[in-house]
């Protein structure tokens, strides 16, 4: 539905029918049928990674994040965090700066709710934060509303919402940490008094940059990385392939490992008839120096079949991405910005269009 110039905007009933139809098709998709196309790019020459993104009152929001300024391939590269909030009101419009975060921030968890985008944790150049707040798009402006903070500062973690409850897992407590966290926190948005609660963690190792997902009322935690100190005293990553599912009623269970690491893949995973994890860093090029010739990240889409307890490659993306959010907007999956390869961001915004009916464009 990205060719909105063919939609008669005056026909409200027709537009509503199209959206309902596309949502139904999206939910049935296994991933192979999804058609990825461009939305308008963010108005920034470099783009950002670690952005918060979600929906409020029908508008798509992208906020904060970081990029490398100047010579990104230099040994002494300079990473900068931002506080800009961009809004795209509809697919035919252009992004515009609509406000600011309380301070520069990125690499937290984004959760869309009925009344706005919830931003959880995150970091800047010197600090990791426990703060949680909601971004509201109302009357043409962004408003910020505080929510209870996390029990500890946290960045580079993952999360998703199951029913009325937000779950977040793993991460890093500080910029200088040489290990990662094994924490599992929950915030029930329907509770009379909002408060983060610590729950028993998954049975595997601690991790950061994992992928979260929700399928059939369960929370999924997939892949990620450990931090270790090597013989030279340098902090290095160990890429993980293990995966777990959490049932609010029955707790954690291990599922089959992913065939490759999907560290820092766009999160949360897309929920269709399977759980779809797109791109991410598999660690295969960890020893390739950063630079324009770096091959970037995998284009594979991995699908998890609950009945078979099996991962398969179900599709190929026209792009590779890491440290980007996934947003569901108007029945489509949106991946705004992120990393193309280490140190290189993009201002591109992609969305997945449901397949056409009988070879015809659904918007006709």
**Mean pLDDT value across the chain:** 90
Of the chain, the end-to-end C-alpha distance in Å amounts to 9
Angle at Cα 113 formed by Cα 309 and Cα 337, nearest 5°? 75
Q: Report whether 5 contacts 92 (CB < 8 A).
A: yes
For residues 245 and 7, the model is more confident at: 245
Residue 359 lies in a domain: no
* Res 22 pLDDT > 90: no
**2 pLDDT above the threshold of 50:** no
Does 40 fall in a domain?
yes
Q: Which pLDDT does position 66 carry in this prediction?
A: 98
Long-range contacts of 294-297 (CB under 8 A, 24+ apart): 294/341, 294/342, 294/344, 295/341, 296/320, 296/340, 296/341, 297/321, 297/322, 297/339, 297/340, 297/341
Reply yes or no on whether the pLDDT at 24 is more than 50: no
Average pLDDT over residues 276-303: 96
Please give the average per-residue pLDDT across 272-301, as a whole number. Answer: 95
Rounded distance between C-alpha atoms, residue 216 and residue 253, angstroms: 14
The yes-or-no verdict on residue 17 having pLDDT over 50 is no
Token output for 13: 């009933």
Q: Is 342 inside any structural domain?
A: yes
In this predicted structure, the answer to whether residue 363 has a pLDDT above a threshold of 50 is no
Residue pLDDT, tens place only, 141-192? 999 999 999 999 999 999 999 999 999 999 999 999 999 999 999 999 999 9
pLDDT at 205: 98
Cβ atoms of 315 and 31 within 8 Å: the answer is yes
37 Cβ neighbours under 8 A, 6+ residues apart: 2, 350, 351, 353
What would you report as the CA-atom Rg of the chain, rounded to the nearest whole angstrom? 19
| Count: domains in the chain | 1
Q: How far is CA 131 from CA 30, 128, 186, in A?
A: 36, 9, 14
What CATH number should be reported for the domain holding residue 159? 2.120.10.80
360 domain residue, yes or no: no
Q: Does residue 105 lie within any of the structural domains?
A: yes
Residues 6+ away with beta carbon under 8 Å from 267: 158, 160, 210, 211, 212, 213, 325, 326
Percent over 70 (pLDDT), the chain: 88
For residue 23, give its domain range: 4-353
Within 8 A by CB and 6+ apart from 358, the residues are none
In this predicted structure, the answer to whether residue 225 has a pLDDT above a threshold of 90 is: yes
Asked whether residue 9 carries a pLDDT value surpassing 70, the answer given is no
Encoded tokens for 281:
């860093």
175 in any annotated domain = yes
Biggest distance spanned by C-alpha atoms of the chain? 66
What pLDDT is recorded for position 115?
Answer: 86
The answer to whether residue 358 sits within a structural domain is no
Look at residue 361 and tell me if it is in a domain: no
The residues near 362 (Cβ < 8 Å, ≥ 6 apart) are 1, 18, 21, 22, 354, 356
Average pLDDT over residues 199-223: 98
Residue pair 108/151 in contact (Cβ under 8 Å)? The answer is no
Tell me which residue of 290, 296, 346, 265 sits closest to 48, measured CA to CA. 346
What CA dihedral angle connects 124, 148, 204 and 213, to 10 degrees?
A: -90
pLDDT in tens, 76-108: 999 999 999 999 999 999 999 999 999 999 999
């Amino acid at each position: 539905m990205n060719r909105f110039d063919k939609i008669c905007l005056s026909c409200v009933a027709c537009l509503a029918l199209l959206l309902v139809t596309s949502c139904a098709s999206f939910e049935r998709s296994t991933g192979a049928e999804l058609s990825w196309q461009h939305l308008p790019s963010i108005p920034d020459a470099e783009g950002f990674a670690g952005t918060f993104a979600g929906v409020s009152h029908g508008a798509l929001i992208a906020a904060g994040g970081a990029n490398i300024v100047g010579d990104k391939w230099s040994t002494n590269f300079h990473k900068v965090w931002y506080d800009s909030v961009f809004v795209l009101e509809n697919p035919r419009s252009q992004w515009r700066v609509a406000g600011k975060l309380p301070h520069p921030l990125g690499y937290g968890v984004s959760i869309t709710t009925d009344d706005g985008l919830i931003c959880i944790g995150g970091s800047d150049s010197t600090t990791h934060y426990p703060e949680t707040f909601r971004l509201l798009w109302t009357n043409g402006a962004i408003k910020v509303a505080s929510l209870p903070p996390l029990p500890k500062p946290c960045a580079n973690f993952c999360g998703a919402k199951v029913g009325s409850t937000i779950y977040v897992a793993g991460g890093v407590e500080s910029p200088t940490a040489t290990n990662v966290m094994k924490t599992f926190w929950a915030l029930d948005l329907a509770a009379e008094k909002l408060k983060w609660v610590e729950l028993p963690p998954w049975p595997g190792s601690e991790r950061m940059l994992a992928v979260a997902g929700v399928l059939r009322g369960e929370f999924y935690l997939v892949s990620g990385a450990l931090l270790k100190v090597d013989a030279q005293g340098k902090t290095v990553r160990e890429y993980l392939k293990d995966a777990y599912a959490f049932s609010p009623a029955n707790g954690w269970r291990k599922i089959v490992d992913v065939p490759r690491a999907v560290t820092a893949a766009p999160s949360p995973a897309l929920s269709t008839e399977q759980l779809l994890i797109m791109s991410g860093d598999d660690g295969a090029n960890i020893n390739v120096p950063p630079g324009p010739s770096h091959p970037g990240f995998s284009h594979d889409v991995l699908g998890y079949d609950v009945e078979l307890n099996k991962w398969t490659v179900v599709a190929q993306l026209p792009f590779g991405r890491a440290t980007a959010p996934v947003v569901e907007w108007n029945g489509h999956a949106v991946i705004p910005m992120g990393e193309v390869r280490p140190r290189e961001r993009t201002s591109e915004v992609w969305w997945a269009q449901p397949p056409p009916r009988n070879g015809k464009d659904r918007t006709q």
